[in-house]
């Protein structure tokens, strides 16, 4: 892992880029990269306005992750910070399609914005759902509900991506993204539990 100040770049990020290029995503990769950059700027701008300190910005195999101290943010404000990234993408999609007439860049932003709104814990939609359920009920109920919803949604997304890839309607890039949402939702291998003697 390479680290400089608050920026961390994992080896998995380079591996994902290489896989995407091998999967034939070379033409769309710069557009997705630009859309992702604007997405993260949306999060960073919202966090700054909310007064939350950004502790780390990490690029990993599954995309970008911002770690910020949101302990003192009320739930509504943290939800807004979470949804700021997809909101920027959806706004840019509208601007590029209606004003600039660039439907390719508009499509990249639309795809990234909608994808990140899916209720999967590793995505913004999943985080927003967790915060909303925590606000309305409690974090334990939110954890349980979000895990079940996220697993079902990620499995369905992976199945659809697999079918589209096999039919030749989508490239491997979509399948890689879908699998990237599914893997973190799978249960970890059972670990041996060692019972400690009472003291």
Which residues are tagged catalytic?
A: 40
* Nearest of 88, 81, 86, 51 to residue 66 by alpha carbon: 81
Q: What's the token pair of residue 40?
A: 């993260």
Where do we find the tokens 């003697």?
197
**53 and 18 in contact (C-beta within 8 Å)?**
no
> What's the rounded Cα separation, in Å, for the pair 75 and 132?
7
Give the residues across from 64 on adjacent strands. 59
Full DSSP string of 98-148: III--HHHHHHHHHHHHHHTSS-TTSHHHHHHHHHHHHHS-HHHHHHHHHH
């Amino acid at each position: 892992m390479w680290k400089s100040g608050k920026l961390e770049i994992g080896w998995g990020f380079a591996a994902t880029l290489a896989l995407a290029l091998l999967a034939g995503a070379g033409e769309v990769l710069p557009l997705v990269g630009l859309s992702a950059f604007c997405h993260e700027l949306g999060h960073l701008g919202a966090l700054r306005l909310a007064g939350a300190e950004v502790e780390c910005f990490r690029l990993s195999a599954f995309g970008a992750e911002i770690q910020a101290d949101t302990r003192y943010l009320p739930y509504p404000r943290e939800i807004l910070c979470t949804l700021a990234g997809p909101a920027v993408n959806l706004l840019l999609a509208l601007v590029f399609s209606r004003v600039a007439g660039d439907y390719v860049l508009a499509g990249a932003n639309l795809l990234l914005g909608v994808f990140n709104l899916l209720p999967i814990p590793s995505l913004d939609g999943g985080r927003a759902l967790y915060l909303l359920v925590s606000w309305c009920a409690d974090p334990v109920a939110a954890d349980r509900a979000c895990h079940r919803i996220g697993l079902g949604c990620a499995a369905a997304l992976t199945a659809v991506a697999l079918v589209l890839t096999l039919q030749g309607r989508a490239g491997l890039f979509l399948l890689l993204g879908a699998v990237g949402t599914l893997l973190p939702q799978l249960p970890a291998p059972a670990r041996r539990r060692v019972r400690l003697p009472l003291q």
